Amino acid sequence: MSADRLEIAVQKLKDTGIRMTPQRYAILSFLMETLSHPTADEIYKVLESQFPNMSVATVYNNLKVFKDAGLVRELTYGDSSSRFDGNTSDHYHCICSSCGRIVDFDYEPLVELEEEAERSTGFAISSHRLEFYGTCELCKTEYKQ
């Protein structure tokens, strides 16, 4: 499934007229394969040995290109750096308060809740964000030992 996602993403960039470079391809395929919602820094650290001339700025520029093309979602959390999600379908997140891990939580989008928000506030709602905080599976077992 992630391979398909990568192929589709590559094709979409091609259709948009965006030139593919080895670095761009590496960043894109990492994002399409990982479930970790990495920051630009984390992506840089994973790929820097492969591309010694690559800078963090290159990673940022590419993330912006992918975001503008609708291939990734940027998740912002206050003043901490943005995380990037290669899964652009509607889904929710569980965030570990202990290690910061973000795990996808697939659940039918709460459309009724958006409608209720529109009724109650008069807003034209375009999207919503819902996040769950707690202790992830790994941290839970660490505490038990």
Cα(113)–Cα(128) distance, integer angstroms: 9
Half-sphere exposure (CA, 13 Å, Cβ side) for 87? 18
Which residue, 4 or 106, is less far from Zn ion as judged by CB? 106
Q: Rule CB under 5 A: say whether 96 interacts with Zn ion.
A: yes
Stretch that binds Zn ion, among 14-22, 44-52, 64-72, 132-140 (CB under 5 A): 132-140
Stretch that binds Zn ion, among 18-26, 109-117, 120-128, 129-137 (CB under 5 A): 129-137
- Evaluated on CA atoms 88, 112, 108, 97, the torsion sign reads positive
Q: How far is the CB of 17 from Zn ion (least distance, A)?
A: 28
Amino acid at the residue 91? H
Cα(67)–Cα(85) distance, integer angstroms: 10
Stretch that binds Zn ion, among 5-13, 45-53, 84-92, 107-115 (CB under 5 A): 84-92
Q: Rule CB under 5 A: say whether 8 interacts with Zn ion.
A: no
Which residue, 12 or 101, is less far from Zn ion as judged by CB? 101
Helix (H, G, I), strand (E, B) or coil at 71: coil
Q: Rule CB under 5 A: say whether 85 interacts with Zn ion.
A: yes
Which residue, 99 or 125, is less far from Zn ion as judged by CB? 99
Cα(96)–Cα(144) distance, integer angstroms: 16
**Residues sharing a CB contact under 8 Å with residue 124, sequence separation 6 or more, in sequence order:** 118
Which residues form the interface with Zn ion (CB under 5 A)? 85, 87, 96, 98-99, 101, 104, 136, 139
